[in-house]
Amino acid sequence: MLTLYKKELNYYLNNVVGYLILIIFAAFANFLFVKDIFVVGTASMKSFFGIMPWLFLVFIPALGMRIFSEEKRVNTIEILLTLPVSETQIVLAKFFAMATLFLMSLALTLAAPISLALIARLYLPEVIVGYLGIFLLGVSSIAIAMFFSSQTKNQIVAFLLSVLVLFFLNVLATDFLVTVLPKAITDFASYFGPIYHLQNFIKGIVDVRSLFYFLSLLVVFLFLTVISLEKRD
């Protein structure tokens, strides 16, 4: 499992595309943060954390679209499944490799709170909890991207399916549904949207229900990915 983890991680670290994805994400995140401070006049990390679900909408699928699709395209998936590791170990190794890359991308955004701390007073626990929230959102999104990558050998199809599902989940907790559905339905539906649960973390609150939501999303899609691989036996 460790060998497979290193192999997946090295693929991105030895590939210019992997670095490009990380750098572009960090550049967009920091740019939007700076815009909010100097254009909107908001000296807070809340707006920074608030845009993350929409950046992840493209960044996470782009990062994960090849994870299984490429294996299928070049027919190495069969070799992978014959290794002395279980399907669960394969999925976890690939997941941890992507989670490591995701952590690297978050590290590149630390310029945001550091720069803000130089011009305004920051409440550190709130920033830490906010980062915890976007980390949970990110890894659960990775699990979703991995599942759709396991469904097709076409990376573009995997990317688009992941984007569509993440977009749908994001929309559940926005005001858009209020314009087309009764409030009672939208209030219920919003609970299933990650943005709804992220709000608690942005406020500096570690809500057990929100923690359970993200962990459940993560476990369910990792489990579905394992099942998808087992069906190939």
Which of the four pLDDT bands, split at 50, 70 and 90, describes residue 35?
low
pLDDT band at 177 (very low <50, low <70, confident <90, very high): low
Out of 60-69, 90-99, 122-131, 215-224, least confident range: 122-131
- Is the pLDDT at 37 greater than 70? The verdict is no
The H-assigned helical ranges of the chain are 2-13, 16-35, 46-64, 69-73, 77-81, 87-107, 111-119, 124-149, 155-171, 183-190, 194-202, 208-230
Task: Note the pLDDT of residue 186.
Answer: 67
Residue with more model confidence, 172 or 202: 202
Is residue 38 predicted with pLDDT exceeding 90?
no
Which residues touch 188 (CB under 8 Å, ≥6 apart)?
none
The label of the residue with tokens 């990062």 reads 63
Q: How many residues does the chain have?
A: 233
Looking at the structure of the chain, the number of domains it has is 1
| Cα-to-chain-centroid distance, residue 206 | 19
* Mean pLDDT computed over every residue of the chain: 84
Question: In whole angstroms, what is the distance from residue 121 CA to residue 204 CA?
Answer: 15
Query: Is residue 39 predicted with pLDDT exceeding 70?
Result: no
* Phi, psi torsion values for 209, nearest 5 degrees: -65, -40
Largest CA distance in the chain: 58
Mean pLDDT confidence for 12-18:
78
Residue 187: predicted pLDDT = 67
How far is it, in rounded angstroms, from Cα 175 to Cα 189? 11
Check pLDDT > 60 for residue 233.
no
According to the model, what pLDDT value does residue 3 have?
Answer: 80
State the pLDDT at residue 57.
92
* Percent of the chain scoring above 90 in pLDDT: 34
Q: Would the pLDDT of 12 be above 60?
A: yes
pLDDT at 227 (0 to 100) = 93
Residue 141: give the domain boundaries.
2-230
Alpha-carbon gap, residue 177 to 228, rounded angstroms:
32
Please count the other Cβ atoms lying within 10 Å of the Cβ belonging to residue 173. Answer: 21
Q: Half-sphere exposure (CA, 13 Å, Cβ side) for 89?
A: 11
Mean pLDDT on 36-46: 62
End-to-end CA distance of the chain: 19
At residue 100 the predicted structure's pLDDT band, cuts being 50, 70 and 90, is very high
Choose between 81 and 221: higher pLDDT.
221
> Under a CB-based contact definition with an 8 Å cutoff, are residues 33 and 48 in contact?
yes
Q: 48 or 36, which is more confident?
A: 48
- Confidence (pLDDT) at 97: 92
- Per the CB < 8 A criterion, the answer to whether 201 and 130 are in contact is yes
pLDDT tens for each residue of 145-170: 999 999 998 999 999 999 999 999 88
* CA–CA distance, 223 with 136 (Å, rounded to integer): 17
**Backbone dihedral angles phi then psi of residue 109, each to the nearest 5 degrees:** -95, 0
128 residue type, one letter: I
**pLDDT value at residue 117:** 74
Q: What is the CA radius of gyration of the chain?
A: 18
Please check whether residue 29 is in contact with residue 112, taking contact to mean a CB–CB distance below 8 angstroms: yes
